[in-house]
């Protein structure tokens, strides 16, 4: 089994643009998180924006990720670019936060300030659970935690070069569904805008590369993730537990029905 990185090692690898693979979680199931964390993924991402859990769920899933045998660190997509949401995720032990709906460099700067303690930022000091694994001194905490800005809106795409150049930003993360809608798609998977979508992705990836920061993207499956890594994306998430549960359950149901009908 792969050996997991510490938060400090994970953040260093992310900032060095090493290739990392994660899994996306929407379900409030610490038992599932504990099993997923042992599979070899570099991180588990818990979605507090669209996921099906609140603060206690986020906390318990982060705890489960840190159990014996884990290869992954826990990161959180927070509800919004707000110091309270960001601070609570970090205090609960998240190694990184993914901040949604970043439209401008100022938005990115605000997210960074919420992650860093004074004088670099405005995070309130109270790492009640995080201090057991991260920091707890501010300088050490800054070295061990990362802030990732989501590029998923028309404004975010228009300003992506300035966003990526924001001092203190560790990386960007593409939300493909919202980005596809932002460039004119009528659905989150609209194939009619595929060319424009791929052009947007190339622009985003190159902006991150030019700024020397990590470039991440959400993926529906492992094959898609492998393709994006080959293109030069530095970290990829595979989504998501609730979707994959439905998919595998349907596969087994179809197989059972076919077996029954063949008798």
Select from 24, 29, 36, 39 the least CA-distant residue to 239.
24
Residue partners of 96: CB distance under 8 A and separation at least 6: 10, 11, 14, 43, 73, 75, 76, 145, 146, 147, 148, 170
Vertex 220 angle, CA 44 and 256, to 5°: 100
> Which class for 257: exposed (0-12), middle (13-18), buried (19 or more C-beta within 10 A)?
exposed
**Exposed, middle or buried: residue 120 (CB in 10 Å: 0-12, 13-18, 19+)?**
middle
Coarse DSSP helix, strand, coil percentages of the chain, rounded to the nearest 5 percent:
50, 15, 35
Of 50, 218, 244, 252, which one is the catalytic site residue?
50
Cα separation, 190 vs 172, whole angstroms: 23
245 burial via Cβ count (<10 Å: 0-12, 13-18, 19+):
middle
Q: For this structure, is 60 an active site residue?
A: no
Place of tokens 């975010």: 156
Instruction: Find the Cα–Cα–Cα–Cα dihedral 169, 172, 173, 175, rounded to 10°.
Output: 110
Query: Known catalytic residues?
Result: 50
């Amino acid at each position: 089994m792969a050996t997991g990185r510490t938060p400090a090692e994970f953040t260093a690898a992310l900032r060095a643009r090493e290739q990392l693979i994660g899994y996306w979680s929407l379900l409030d199931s610490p038992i599932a998180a504990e099993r997923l964390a042992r599979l070899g993924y570099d991180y588990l991402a818990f979605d507090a924006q669209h996921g099906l859990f609140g603060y206690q769920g986020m906390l318990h899933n982060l705890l489960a990720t840190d159990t014996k045998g884990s290869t992954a660190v826990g990161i959180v997509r927070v509800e919004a670019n707000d110091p309270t949401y960001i601070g609570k995720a970090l205090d609960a032990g998240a190694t990184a936060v993914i901040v949604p709906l970043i439209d401008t460099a100022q938005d990115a700067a605000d997210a960074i300030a919420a992650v860093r303690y004074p004088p670099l930022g405005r995070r309130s000091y109270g790492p009640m659970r995080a201090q057991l694994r991260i920091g707890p001194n501010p300088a050490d905490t800054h070295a061990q935690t990362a802030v990732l800005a989501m590029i998923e809106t028309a404004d975010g795409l228009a300003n992506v070069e300035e966003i990526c150049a924001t001092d203190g930003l560790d990386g960007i993360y593409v939300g493909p569904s919202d980005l596809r809608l932002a460039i004119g798609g009528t659905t989150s998977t609209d194939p009619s805008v595929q060319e424009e979508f791929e052009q947007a992705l190339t622009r985003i990836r190159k902006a991150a590369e030019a700024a020397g920061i990590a470039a991440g993207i959400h993926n529906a499956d492992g094959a898609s993730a492998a393709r994006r890594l080959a293109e030069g994306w530095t970290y990829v998430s595979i989504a998501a537990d609730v979707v994959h549960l439905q998919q595998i359950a349907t596969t087994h149901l179809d197989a059972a029905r076919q077996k029954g009908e063949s008798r």
